[in-house]
Amino acid sequence: MNSSLRWRKFVSGFMLTMTGVCAVVAVSVLFLILGYLVYHGGTSISWNFFTKLPTPVGETGGGMANAILGSAKLLLLASLFGVPIGFFGAIYLAEFSGGAIAFVVRYAADLLNGVPSIVIGIFAYSLVVLPFKHFSTLAGGFALGLMMIPITLRSTEEFLRAVPSTLREGAMALGASKSRTIATVIVPAAYRGILTAILLAFARVAGETAPLLFTAFGNRFWSPGWNQPTAALPEMIYRYAIAPYDDWHRQAWAAGLVLLGLILVVNIVARGILARGIAVPRS
Amino acid sequence: MATTTTTVPSAGPVTGSRSFLSRLIEGDEIARLITFLFAASVVLITLLLVFELWQGSVLARHKFGLKFFFTRVWDPIFDQFGALPFIYGTLVTSVVALVIAVPLGIGAAIFLAELAPQKISDTLQFFIDLLAAVPSVIYGLLGVFVVIPLMRQYLQPALKGTLGFLPLFQGPAYGVGFLTAGIVLAIMVIPYIISVSREILLAVPRDQREAALALGATRWESTWKVVVPFARGGIMGSIFLALARALGETMAVTMVIGNTPTISASLFSPGYSIAAVIANEFTEATGDLYLQSLIELGLVLFLLTFILNGVARLLIVATSQKGGGMGHA
């Protein structure tokens, strides 16, 4: 009897310790990733990385200025396309819609959110690249924007719904129209959450590579305008990492450090905006 | 998960009480119309995506039919396309990923939900959320320069030495291959399993735990025999979610799987996955049938993830409602 109890207590202690080990292993992966990137990337990052174009194959040196600008342009387009649809769509869902339409929209958004990014790439290819007969910044921005829509939409809706209904009623009791209530009371009340949602969507697509492979395609030079193939940071990391040149590997590490740094900073800022005890809804 | 929606009871009747004309003059009807157009465009885009995939693969679907899924020849020169090696590679890598990720992920979720004090749990969850935000190309980068050499020099020889009698662990150690891709995928999906499972476990009502402890169960027994079974559906949901992620994952897999269409019992063998072949060959596809076969692969991937995500969502919603209902009783 006593020995069986001791055994059960031992099992309990052992298994609970193991769960702790699991948690430590899972979290330590993040620090391993950061450590490797800082170690390898930190030594290869230089002023040239931000200001120079890639050099021809075989020459060392050069940088990724064109990819940094390319990524910025792609993300600007993506935000211009994805954020309004997500934001206004969420206002419709939270404030105007009844059951059936809202269900269909939410369902479509969840479906879109689950689509593998490479399939998004195929879609953008057949919708934008084929008609224009060009790989382009436009097509890449469209693909990334598509991925921002469901994330922005679903979390913005949640934050709008979290606004207490007493605020709505108060505004309306003062005689404000519904659209005025939304614009001056509800959206301002939820703006922290909405900003967080948009930033997280931005961070998510900033690292996407697969949808860019056959939309933005890549480019070793500057990409003028919006209708030319363009380089992007994640896409350059991919091409440089699988290439056989040491100097390219060095630059891939540097680009990885810059990209991950950007994404983690945006994530931390986004969560910090919300810091006062409100949970971030997962999209 | 965000899919459990809350209802706001107040919004409806207020609008109904005013006339259509006054709502029109005050701009409410215009606002409703504009926001509706944005919301509707989400549905349109999704329908268009399904349509494009279906329409874009029409030639391949008609030419090969079901044979597409059971032939292993992928020969662009003779226009013969069979997807078997890619489907095999996708499934094998995903299964390897789950075998590694599920115990680790659930273990960590149990620790975060049941054992760790709130502050520690929240801090660790914050790191897990950051981990989920790391883009797949970064995992690929580390896969190429860290995991592959480790596999080749240490892990694969070690496995061969100890478990080499199994057909799973035979053949030369290239470093790249099914096992490597599976391990990288496992690392990538663990955060999803942890986040969702943790939330499901936290939603299990307190009295379930207290009842078990009062009956003399140890802490582990109450967790493993009462709390986890209560949350089983939702945890399954998190696993399906992770599986959907693993199946559709492109960059990291492309960089470490070896990109050779082989079907081999050995996990050391280089392979290929659906997403990887699309990534590698889409821009080089000459000829309609070639391109359409790749789009059909995209369609397969879409349908697989669509079904898995749907099942996952149902399980998670059902379980969290169960928790909510019992908690008030």
| Shared domain check, A132 and A37 | no
Same domain membership, residue A82 and residue A23 = no
DSSP assignment, residue A279?
P
Q: Does A275 have pLDDT greater than 80?
A: no
Say if residue A32 is in the same domain as residue A151.
Answer: no
- Listed ranges A70-84, A173-187, B64-78; the one with the highest mean pLDDT: A70-84
**Residue B63 located in a structural domain:** no
* pLDDT of the residue at B152: 93
Domain boundaries, position A214: 49-273
The reply to whether A104 touches chain B by the CB within 8 Å rule is: yes
Residues B124 and B162 in one domain: yes
Q: Is residue A76 part of a domain?
A: yes
Tally of domains in chain A: 2
User: Both A101 and A185 in a single domain?
Assistant: yes
- Pick from B35, B218, B295: which is nearest to A96 by CB? B35
Considering the domain architecture, whether residues A22 and A75 belong to the same structural domain is answered as: no
SS3 at position A162: coil
What pLDDT is recorded for position A276? 57
User: What average pLDDT does this structure show over A246-251?
Assistant: 91
Position A174 scores a pLDDT of 92
Structural domain boundaries, residue B48: 11-56
| Domain co-membership, B47 together with B72 | no
Q: Are residues A78 and A153 in the same domain?
A: yes
Supply the pLDDT for residue B5: 47
A116 touches chain B (CB under 8 A): yes
Query: pLDDT tens digits, residue range B244-288?
Result: 999 999 999 999 999 999 899 899 999 999 999 999 999 988 888
Collapsing DSSP states into helix, strand and coil, what is residue A197?
Answer: helix
| B163 and B24 in a common domain | no
pLDDT, tens digit, 9 for 90 and up, residues B148-157: 999 999 999 9
User: Quick one: tokens of B305?
Assistant: 């993830």
Question: What pLDDT, in 10s, does the model give residues A22-43?
Answer: 999 999 999 999 999 999 999 8
Find the mean pLDDT for residues A9-21.
Answer: 95
The domain that holds A194 is classified in CATH as 1.10.3720.10
Contact list, A26 vs chain B (CB under 8 Å): 104-105, 108, 128, 131, 190-191, 194
Is B8 within 8 Å of A259 when comparing Cβ atoms? no
List the single best residue of A4, A18, A21, A29 to mutate versus B (max B Cβ within 10 A).
A29
With bands split at pLDDT 50, 70 and 90, how would you rate the model's confidence at A277?
very low
What is the least distance, in Å, from the CA of A56 to any CA of chain B?
Answer: 22
| Confidence class for position A56, pLDDT limits 50, 70, 90 | confident
Both B20 and B102 in one domain: the answer is no
How many residue pairs bridge chain A and chain B with CB atoms within 8 Å of each other?
299
Please tell me if residue A34 touches chain B, with a CB cutoff of 8 Å: no
- Do A99 and A11 share a domain, yes or no? no
Please indicate, yes or no, if residue A281 is contained in any of the structural domains: no
Measured between beta carbons, the chain B residues lying within 8 angstroms of A173 are none
Q: What is the pLDDT of residue B322?
A: 76
> A2 falls in which pLDDT band (50, 70, 90)?
confident
Mean pLDDT of chain A: 91
Q: What is the pLDDT of residue B167?
A: 87
pLDDT at B111: 96
B5 domain residue, yes or no:
no
Looking at the structure, do residues A100 and A176 belong to the same domain, yes or no? yes
CB contact under 8 A, A33 and B138: yes
Residue B83 near residue B304, CB atoms below 8 Å? no
Domain for residue B1, yes or no? no
By the CB < 8 Å criterion, does A256 face chain B? yes
Mean pLDDT, residues A161-180 taken together: 90
Q: What is the pLDDT of residue B18?
A: 63
pLDDT per residue, tens digit, chain B (329 aa), is: 344 444 444 444 444 556 777 777 777 888 889 999 999 999 999 999 999 999 999 999 999 999 999 999 999 888 899 999 999 999 999 999 999 999 999 999 999 999 999 999 999 999 999 999 999 999 999 999 999 999 999 999 999 889 988 888 988 888 999 999 999 999 999 999 999 999 999 999 999 999 999 999 999 999 999 999 999 999 999 999 999 999 999 999 999 999 999 899 899 999 999 999 999 999 988 888 999 999 999 999 999 999 999 999 999 888 888 765 444 33
Residue A282 has pLDDT above 60, yes or no: no
Please give the average per-residue pLDDT across A249-278, as a whole number.
Answer: 88
Helix (H), strand (E), coil (C) string for chain B? CCCCCCCCCCHHHHHHCCCHHHHHHCCHHHHHHHHHHHHHHHHHHHHHHHHHHHHHCHHHHHHHHHHHHCCCCEECCCCEECCHHHHHHHHHHHHHHHHHHHHHHHHHHHHHHHHCCHHHHHHHHHHHHHHHHCCHHHHHHHHHHHHHHHHHHHHHHHHHHHHCCCHHHCCCCCCCCHHHHHHHHHHHHHHHHHHHHHHHHHCCCHHHHHHHHHCCCCHHHHHHHHHHHHCHHHHHHHHHHHHHHHHHCCHHHHHHCCCCCCCCCCCCCCCCCHHHHHHHHHHHCCCHHHHHHHHHHHHHHHHHHHHHHHHHHHHHHHHHHHHHHHHHC
Kindly state whether residues B27 and B143 are assigned to the same domain: no
Structure tokens at A256: 């990885």
Q: Decide if A239 contacts A232 (C-beta within 8 A).
A: no
Is the predicted pLDDT of residue A98 greater than 90, yes or no? Answer: no
Sequence length of chain A is: 283
Q: Once rounded to an integer, what is the mean pLDDT over residues A170-176?
A: 90
Residues A14 and A53 in one domain: no
Whether residue B32 is found in the same domain as residue B135: no
What pLDDT score does A60 carry? Answer: 83
**Number of domain units in chain B:** 2
In a shared domain, residues A146 and A265: yes
Preferred mutation among A27, A129, A199, A246 to probe B, highest tally of B CBs within 10 A:
A27
pLDDT, tens digit, for every residue of A110-137? 999 999 999 999 999 999 999 998 899 9
Q: Is B37 in the same domain as B152?
A: no
Q: Among partner residues B106, B221, B275, which is closest to A118 by beta-carbon distance?
A: B275
